[in-house]
């Protein structure tokens, strides 16, 4: 799907399933400070977030992973910054039964049904790959 504007929130048709990948392509603007990709449990600003992927350019450039459950944030996990300001990027978030890459599930994968992107970022496309429809 082509993203028209940020902030963006939309459904993941059929929900997120084991083996699926979420592919986000965009550009990190030169004036970027931070943005977030949230895999949510509903299309609501107050819903639980199974994965909060949050690149931050704040002097200690890093990516923060976290989850939001029952109205509270969990403990942050920090990773090396994979982005360069002003350059294009492609993120692939692969969902397995146990974790998203190295971020272990704090909320069951089958609850994820929406994606949200907000902050200082330009996103061209979001694709969901890896799950084939069932044939009955």
CATH of the domain at 49: 2.60.120.200
Residue 109 forms part of a structural domain: yes
Separation between Cα atoms, residue 50 and residue 106, nearest integer Å: 7
* Domain, as residue range, for 118: 8-15+25-129
Q: Is residue 74 part of a domain?
A: yes
Instruction: Mention every residue, 6+ apart, whose C-beta is less than 8 A from residue 84.
Output: 28
Q: Is this model's pTM higher than 0.75 or not?
A: yes
The count of domains in the chain is 1
Whether the ω angle into residue 135 lies within 30 degrees of 0, i.e. cis, is no
Tens-of-pLDDT digits for all 136 residues of the chain?
A: 767 689 999 999 899 998 899 999 999 999 999 999 999 999 999 999 999 999 999 888 999 999 999 999 999 999 999 999 999 999 999 888 776 667 888 999 899 999 999 999 999 999 999 865 555 5
Structure tokens at 56: 């931050």
What is the distance between the alpha carbons of residues 118 and 122, in angstroms, rounded to a whole number? 9
């Amino acid at each position: 799907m082509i993203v028209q504007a940020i902030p963006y929130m939309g459904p993941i048709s059929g929900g997120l399933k084991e083996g699926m990948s979420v592919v986000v392509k965009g550009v990190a603007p030169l004036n970027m400070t931070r943005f977030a990709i949230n895999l949510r449990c509903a299309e609501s600003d107050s819903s639980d977030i199974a994965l909060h992927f949050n690149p931050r350019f704040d002097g200690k450039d890093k990516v923060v992973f976290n989850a939001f459950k029952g109205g509270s944030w969990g403990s942050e996990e920090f990773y090396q910054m994979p982005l360069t300001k002003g350059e294009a990027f492609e993120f692939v978030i692969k969902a397995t039964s146990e974790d998203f890459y190295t971020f272990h599930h704090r909320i069951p994968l089958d609850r994820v049904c929406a994606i949200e992107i907000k902050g200082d970022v330009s996103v061209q496309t979001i694709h969901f790959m890896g799950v084939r429809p069932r044939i009955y």
